[in-house]
Chains A and B, each alone.
Chain A
């Protein structure tokens, strides 16, 4: 059956009449949709692209915010508030280091990750925090392979914030662990990594 079916499909494909491409409609539709996306929605879209386990809790129309602010809720979620956010998908190591250099504190990047881990993205929340997304290896992790690690200036964590207005607040899902390394607070979010793997990362970063 296989070769005849393959031939029949090839034949069908070759004989299928294709209508002309409606280029004018595609062009005008694309441009119209691009123009229709407001700034706030663009910001939501940006945050949504990397905040797989996060939800946008609040977005203000106007904002002047003195930096980034991190708080932990009673349920273990993390709230990240700030004025600016940027995201790079599939960054190179140099791009990750460049983001780390722009921070207002000495950043210790995560180490001790499982062999085969790749960096899926890096987000910067002002200069006070950055979020690294890792693709963890292992076929058994097929639908839960993303480890998100928040690295924040410990001076920006907790306490009452001094702010005029917030531009955005993002709330993560439950965090698995958080600890202090040097001048930073490290938070491992979600449960893609095992407890042993988190312990290995914590140990490696503390050396």
Chain B
């Protein structure tokens, strides 16, 4: 679900009071972490990204031009930090796709493995569309690309994911992988 926040919470944080900013951080932290984890597939990296995004929010929320802009603004921060941490890690650690995702209790291995096969620019739109349930217009605004490009990327991503995901496959409740998952 996309970040639903009361406007008063964002407005109060914009005014600069530390207590209000921290209340806002408490509210956005789970969404920031989940988004980062879906993008990166790594709990530790997701925690780093979410923490960095919160630090940036803490320091710069007062410069936000309007409450309505908060959601797009914060999504951009999380995605940017995720990209940066991914670039830093790719310089030091070669990514092995099969091992790049830590299985967590409750995670759907099929979904995470499927996402891991997508290049970054497709994974972003898929996560924002299906994980955050944003419209293509909202995704276009966040990624600063045309709406048509978002829809095109989703189409390409769906084509790639279709062979990997079974239409009737049950959702996994534990972290164990199915032997015929892919």
Seen from chain A, the residues whose Cβ lies within 8 Å of a Cβ on chain B are 1-2, 4-13, 15-19, 21-23, 25-27, 29-30, 33-34, 89-90, 139, 142
Q: Is B118 part of the contact surface with A, judged by Cβ < 8 Å? A: no
If A16-B106, A26-B58 are given as contacts, then 18 extra A-B residue pairs at C-beta distance below 8 Å, sorted by A number, are A1-B158, A1-B165, A4-B168, A5-B161, A6-B130, A8-B108, A8-B110, A8-B171, A12-B111, A13-B1, A13-B38, A15-B107, A16-B33, A16-B37, A19-B43, A26-B51, A27-B22, A89-B65
**Interface residue tally for chain B (C-beta within 8 Å):** 41
| Top 3 closest pairs, chain A to chain B, by CB | A15-B106, A30-B58, A21-B29
- CB contact between A8 and one of B18, B29, B58, B165 (< 8 Å): that residue: B165
Tell me if B54 and A21 are in contact (CB < 8 A). yes
Q: In this assembly, does B47 line the interface, its C-beta being within 8 Å of a C-beta of chain A?
A: yes
**SS of B interface (majority):** helix
Which residues from 94 to 147 on chain B have a C-beta closer than 8 Å to any C-beta of chain A?
104-108, 110-112, 130-131, 133, 146
Q: How far is the CB of B127 from chain A (nearest CB, A)?
A: 8
Residues facing A in B59-87 (CB within 8 A) are 59, 63, 65-66
Q: A16 to B22, Cβ gap below 8 A?
A: no
A4 to B171, CA, bound (A): 9
Whether B29 lies near A16 (C-beta < 8 A) is: no
